[in-house]
Amino acid sequence: MDQLKEASIYETVACNLCGSENYRVIIEPYKKDFNPLEVITASQGIRGTQRIVRCLDCGLVYVNPRINAAVVSESYAGTIDKVYVQGASGRQQTFTQCAKKIDRWKKPPGRLLDVGCAAGFFVNAAKKHGWDAAGVDPSNWLVKWGIENLGVKLYAGTLKDIGFGDKEFDVLTIWDVLEHVPDPAKELQECYRVLKKGGIIVINYPDFGSILSRLAGRRWWFLLSNHLYYFTEKTIRKYLENSGFKVEKFAWHWQTLPLGYLAKILGIYSQSLSRLSMGLFKSLRLSNVQIPYYAAQTNVIASKY
């Protein structure tokens, strides 16, 4: 770890939620041999590269020290993720369900912005559902892919870079992104600024406090090198309230992916089991069957009033 601290690519950070510098290490890294520049961009992340700590004052769980924020931002701007776009049909199905669920809180017409939209699968689903939908993502490659292949309105950059006006949007969505952002507090302040009064924000995050995470311990599948934060209901609530939002509801998030793709992801744990199941599903012609699953992800809905 001393070596990591010395290298300029790493930085030591205070708690992003309360500013405290008091923490306890809860998970030590165990992987020795890896390229620090690949830990952020690796499509499915690399396991065992992080030192994870818990703030003694507010309970926020975060990576410390970590790859410094400038390197993280640069990595995302340069992301080319061909594996991600392969899961297109499943993601589209999941996101169609997500777009319908938002009706309960707010119905189209209106303006919706997806923050960290990647290739724009959710933007596409929201547009089909009746929203004037747009997305923003730092990856030039993913944004270009979405514009060309889905015909959606996407902007390359960070929310702050684009410079939207105050109170422009009725709905903001952040799907599996906040845990990647170096400064979630600032990101949520910016979200609050661009949201209309009476608007809502929907955030999906892997829940470190979930029963699945507790059972899996250090083998939890979301302990990945590209996640800088591990939120719980308590810490995400505090983040939202600090930014001015009122928390409305927490709910389990169900997703859909092709069976073949899930078998591929299994490779994180066991290459041989992954290959075996991929072969089996292929021979049974089940690779494209869409499977709904809950993987410890939580939706939180909050409003600006």
Shortest Å, Cβ 229 to Zn ion? 11
Shortest Å, Cβ 241 to Zn ion? 14
> Which part of the chain contacts Zn ion (CB under 5 A), choosing from 11-19, 160-168, 272-280, 289-297?
11-19
Q: Between 55 and 300, name the residue whose CB sits nearer to Zn ion.
A: 55
Shortest Å, Cβ 178 to Zn ion? 16
Q: Residue 218: how many CB atoms within 10 A of its CB?
A: 12
Number of residues that bind Zn ion (CB under 5 A): 8
Shortest Å, Cβ 1 to Zn ion? 21
Draw the binding track, 37-76, toward Zn ion (x: CB under 5 A; -: no contact): ------------------x-xx-x----------------
Q: Between 60 and 72, name the residue whose CB sits nearer to Zn ion.
A: 60
Shortest Å, Cβ 35 to Zn ion? 30
Query: Does 15 participate in binding Zn ion (rule CB under 5 A)?
Result: yes
Cα(195)–Cα(251) distance, integer angstroms: 22
273 Cβ contact list (under 8 Å, min separation 6): 266
Query: Does 20 participate in binding Zn ion (rule CB under 5 A)?
Result: yes
Cα(43)–Cα(48) distance, integer angstroms: 15
Q: Between 61 and 102, name the residue whose CB sits nearer to Zn ion.
A: 61
Query: Given the rule CB under 5 A, which residues bind Zn ion?
Result: 15, 17-18, 20, 55, 57-58, 60
